């Protein structure tokens, strides 16, 4: 089995990079051939495996410049049980320039030349929904979503699921969710315990049985350029990630031998009556007649709109943004919300319905 897994969450500080490095190392120790890709311009995974980002000559930028060659880009960190493609700040040029030559399929196309060499390819995504993360979601077979045990942990989770639905419809019909991973868990606090109970109650088997607990050694390991398994193999963090690696392998074995077993999350991603585009907050329908009031959007800034409505495919520099607002999919009728900006704030909105006449 050859599988590409993206580690994604638009919220920063939830443990994406920590999970990417330590899961890749755990899978390697469990005798799986693994490639880890740093797809974040901050290059935390690169420094986390003991490399200096500024010294990187070749890296994940080559995916988007059509210069990717495995012999140049793939390296083997000294401590690691996996191969690695590093990153540095130059990768940010993809987001900043938004070149027309970069599309959503460039990473997928590049990885097609190496996927047969690995059982698992792990992608450490940036904390945003830009071209880099969208390329990762288009290229991957599944997504692991780290969820931190804190008050704001669930904020944005539904937004991420909606984004994945949209990707499933538009550019990657095979994408699925590998699971939700609870990170930074502290059993001494009622908040951590309550969040775990609520996540498990709502998402059921979508939540990994393995929980990543708060661990001082786990936080220290990146400063030494080591995985937690190499830095302190007897630590709680080391045991947690080895357990996660074992659970992931077992989960995929079961899925391979029992394809008839449907994942809980797959039902969410393929529900026939639920629109895979963005569901606007405050939207209600009565017999398919719209009763929307979007006046609360007037005066909001661009980043505030992102927080409320989620990712938009529009050019972020455009003065008009458009969202699909239907709650049920229809080829014959589509409802859209247009937002008009002046001085970086919403000054007007308009609702429009497009109907496609049937051919007589």
Task: Sketch the domain layout of the chain as residue ranges.
Answer: 3-270, 285-355
Which helix (H) or strand (E) segment holds residue 164: the answer is helix 157-170
Residue-wise pLDDT tens digits, 114-164: 999 999 999 999 988 889 999 999 999 999 999 988 766 666 677 788 888
Lowest-confidence pick of 30-44, 99-113, 141-155: 141-155
- The highest-confidence range among 8-12, 178-182, 352-356, by mean pLDDT, is 178-182
pTM for this one?
0.74
* Res. 214 pLDDT band, cuts 50 70 90: very high
CA within 13 Å, CB half, 79 = 21
Distance CA 173, CA 341 (A): 33
Instruction: Give yes or no for a contact between 5 and 140, defined as CB atoms under 8 angstroms apart.
Output: yes
* Res. 273 pLDDT band, cuts 50 70 90: very low
Report the CATH superfamily, name and number, of domain 3-270.
Answer: P-loop containing nucleotide triphosphate hydrolases (3.40.50.300)
Backbone dihedral region for residue 134 (phi beyond 0: left; psi -120 to 50: alpha; all else: beta): alpha
What pLDDT score was predicted for residue 260?
53
| SS3 category, 292 | coil
Residue-wise pLDDT tens digits, 302-330: 877 776 676 554 566 678 887 766 544 34
Considering the chain, what is the average pLDDT of its residues?
82
* Res. 190 pLDDT band, cuts 50 70 90: confident
Residue-wise pLDDT tens digits, 231-258: 999 999 999 999 999 999 998 887 777 6
């Amino acid at each position: 089995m050859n599988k590409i897994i993206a580690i994604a969450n638009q919220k920063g500080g939830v443990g994406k990079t920590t999970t990417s490095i330590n899961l890749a190392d755990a899978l390697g120790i469990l005798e799986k051939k693994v490639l880890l890709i740093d797809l974040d311009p901050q290059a935390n995974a690169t420094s986390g495996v003991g490399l200096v980002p500024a010294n990187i000559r070749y890296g994940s930028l080559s995916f988007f410049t059509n210069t990717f060659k495995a012999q140049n880009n793939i390296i083997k960190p000294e401590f690691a049980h996996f191969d690695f493609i590093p990153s540095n700040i130059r990768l940010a040029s993809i987001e900043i320039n938004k070149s027309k030559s970069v599309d959503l399929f460039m990473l997928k196309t590049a990885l097609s030349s190496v996927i047969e060499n690995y059982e698992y390819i792990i992608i450490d995504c940036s904390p945003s929904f830009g071209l880099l993360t969208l390329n990762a979601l288009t290229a991957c077979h599944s997504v692991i979503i780290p969820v931190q045990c804190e008050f704001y942990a669930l904020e944005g989770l539904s937004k991420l699921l909606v984004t994945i639905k949209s990707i499933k419809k538009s550019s990657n019909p095979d994408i699925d969710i590998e699971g939700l991973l609870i990170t930074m868990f502290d059993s001494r606090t009622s908040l951590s315990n309550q969040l775990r109970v609520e996540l498990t109650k709502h998402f059921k088997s979508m939540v990994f049985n393995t929980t990543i607990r708060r661990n001082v050694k786990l936080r220290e390991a990146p400063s030494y350029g080591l995985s937690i398994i190499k830095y302190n193999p007897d630590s709680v963090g080391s045991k947690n990630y080895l357990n996660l690696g074992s659970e992931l392998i077992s989960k995929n074995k079961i899925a391979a031998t029992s394809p008839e077993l449907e994942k809980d999350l797959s039902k969410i991603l393929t529900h026939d009556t639920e629109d895979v585009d963005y569901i606007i907050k405050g939207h209600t329908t009565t017999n398919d007649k719209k009763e929307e009031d979007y006046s609360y959007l007037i005066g909001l800034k661009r980043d505030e709109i992102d927080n409320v409505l989620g990712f938009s495919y529009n050019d972020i520099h455009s003065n008009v943004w458009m969202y699909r607002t239907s709650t049920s999919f229809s080829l014959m009728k589509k409802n859209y919300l247009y937002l008009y900006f002046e001085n970086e704030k919403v000054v007007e909105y308009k609702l429009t319905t497009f109907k496609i006449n049937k051919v007589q």
